[in-house]
Structure 1
Amino acid sequence: MSVRRAALAAFTLDAFLVTVFAAIGRATHEGDPFGPGGTGLANTAWPFLVSLVAAWLIVVAWRRPAALVRTGVPVWAITVTGGMLLRAVSGQGTAVAFIIVATVTLLAFLVGWRAIAAGIGAVRSRRAPVRSR
């Protein structure tokens, strides 16, 4: 896979997982992830998606999109912090319980897939055949 495709795939996965987080939250609390008029999910997800884009730009995540510590941890931290700030200034809730749930869930999602990928990469490199000279 080319570097460009890997970065696009990683960003797409991050954005999908942020959207899944918002949908789960809406389904849990509202019963309908899309809400009245179908805009509920967008209203819940946009602060985190905007923050995710900012995180990717700040971290220059496309250089090493699957890196656990160099990319995953800062992308997660910026996404959560920025998402909460944008929710606060847009009049959406930022209750302590929500902050905790969002922080833990997005950690599992944004850092978790990178940890799984690193583990798979480590297993594959250990199984790689040794070439004789």
Structure 2
Amino acid sequence: MTRTWSWLAAVVDIVLIVAFALIGRSSHAEATSVVGLWTTAYPFLAGWAVGFLVVRGWTRPLRLWPTGVVVWVATVAVGMLLRVLTGQGDVAGDPLPLSFVLVATISLAVFLLGWRAIVGPVVARSGRRGRGRA
């Protein structure tokens, strides 16, 4: 069961990060080409991969702590670092506008932690009920 959830968790996380990039691009009236979307999303996807590997997210994919929190923090931190290093998002000479950091941090928290906060307890509860019947 954990193996199935680890794949599903990875897919859900990746889809939500891409959705975050797509929403950001559309809110700034930027083209939604595949290349443009990739350019915006890949720093955060790289951060997600780092976090998922560091916390070994496949072992407890639905846990808020440590999996969700570590994945979220790494997604934001590495994503921001890569954006600065690649010159993305420079606004009037500011390579990392505070407003973007705040919006990205909150949005990614809602996305990456929110679904775990809902699904994790439901799956845990149904697992306990299933074991009680066996």
TM-score (norm 2): 0.85
Aligned residues: 127
The whole-number CA distance in structure 2 between the counterparts of 1:33 and 1:114 is 28
Displacement of 1:95 in angstroms is 1.1
Displacement of 1:69 in angstroms is 1.2
1:79-98 deviation per Cα after TM superposition (whole angstroms, max 9, x unaligned): 10000000000001221111
Task: Answer whether contact 1:76 1:111 (CA < 8 A) is retained.
Answer: yes
Task: Answer whether contact 2:2 2:61 (CA < 8 A) is retained.
Answer: no
1:43-72 deviation per Cα after TM superposition (whole angstroms, max 9, x unaligned): 100000011111111111100000011100
AA at the equivalent of 1:72: G
- The change in CA–CA distance for 1:87 and 1:31 in structure 2 (over 3 A counts) is closer
User: 1:105 aligns to what?
Assistant: 107
The whole-number CA distance in structure 1 between the counterparts of 2:14 and 2:45 is 6
1:10-29 aligned at under 5 Å gives the runs: 10-29=9-28
The whole-number CA distance in structure 1 between the counterparts of 2:49 and 2:20 is 16
Instruction: Give RMSD over aligned pairs.
Output: 2.0
TM-score (norm 1): 0.85
Query: Identity over the aligned pairs, expressed in percent?
Result: 43
5+ long unaligned stretches in structure 2: 90-95
Displacement of 1:125 in angstroms is 6.9
AA at the equivalent of 2:110: A
The whole-number CA distance in structure 1 between the counterparts of 2:43 and 2:72 is 13
5+ long unaligned stretches in structure 1: none
User: 1:40 aligns to what?
Assistant: 36
Displacement of 1:127 in angstroms is 7.2
Paired residue for 1:116, among 111, 115, 118? 118
The whole-number CA distance in structure 1 between the counterparts of 2:2 and 2:118 is 19
- The change in CA–CA distance for 1:59 and 1:126 in structure 2 (over 3 A counts) is closer
